[in-house]
Amino acid sequence: MGRFLALFNGAADEADKADLTEQQQTEFLHAWAAWAQANEKAIVDPGAPLNAKKLVTAQGVEDFTDALIAYTVVEADSHDEAVRIFAGHPHLGLMAGNSIAVLECPPAPA
CA–CA separation, 75 and 2 (whole Å): 5
Give the global pTM.
Answer: 0.90
Tell me the pLDDT tens digit for each residue of 56-74: 999 999 999 999 999 999 9
Asked if the model's pLDDT at residue 110 lies above 90, the reply is no
Whole-number average pLDDT of the chain: 94
**What number is the average pLDDT over the span 75-87?**
98
Identify the CATH homologous superfamily for domain 2-104. Dimeric alpha+beta barrel (3.30.70.1060)
> Alpha-carbon Rg of the chain, whole angstroms?
16
**CA distances (Å), origin 43, targets 10, 47, 72, 81:** 21, 9, 8, 13
Predicted local distance difference test score (pLDDT) of residue 19: 85
